[in-house]
Amino acid sequence: MTLREFYDRTGGDYEGVLSRVLDEGRIRKYVKMFKNDPCYGELEMFLEKGNVEQAFRASHTLKGVCLNIGFNRLYSYTDTVTEALRSKDLALACENMPHLRASYKEIIEGIDAACAEEA
């Protein structure tokens, strides 16, 4: 799978990222780095603990990363969770996590295939 196909399959904005970064190699580097970003794991952990403030920080950071790297679908789901947490509505945040989880999983599973071609 090419990097462009990966973005298409995961609801991303390849063209938008390419217009900002100007180099597919750099996009590939950032996509690979995403796998090691701790924000998603922190979000899950803080939600499980009921720590709304820390969950908000993790989701807000994840939202920013998604926006910068063009993961639009995941950004949208993360934005919904972030805004629920901003309002201190833990139940609503948790209610919206299944979509976020599924999108995150799809991206993580696709990264290796998308980045392997040029490795």
Eight-class DSSP state of 38: S
Which residue, among 20, 5, 2, has the nearest Cα to 70 in the 3D structure? 20
| Tens-digit pLDDT string for the chain (119 aa) | 899 999 999 999 999 999 999 899 999 999 999 999 999 999 999 999 999 999 999 999 999 999 999 999 999 999 999 999 999 999 999 999 999 999 999 999 999 888 875 54
Tell me how far CA of residue 51 lies from CA of 35, 116, 118, in angstroms: 24, 37, 41
Q: What is the per-residue pLDDT for 117?
A: 58
* Contact (Cβ atoms closer than 8 angstroms) between residue 77 and residue 100: yes
Q: What is the per-residue pLDDT for 50?
A: 97
Residues 34, 59, 48, 106, CA torsion sign: negative
**Full residue range of the structural domain in which residue 76 is found:** 3-116
pTM for this structure?
Answer: 0.92
Q: What is the per-residue pLDDT for 112?
A: 86
Measured CA to CA, the distance from residue 56 to residue 17 in angstroms comes to: 25
| Overall domain count for the chain | 1
Instruction: Identify the CATH number of the domain in which residue 55 sits.
Output: 1.20.120
The full length of the chain comes to 119
3-state secondary structure of 71: coil
Measured CA to CA, the distance from residue 77 to residue 73 in angstroms comes to: 7
Residue whose pair of structure tokens reads 């040029």 in the numeric block:
118
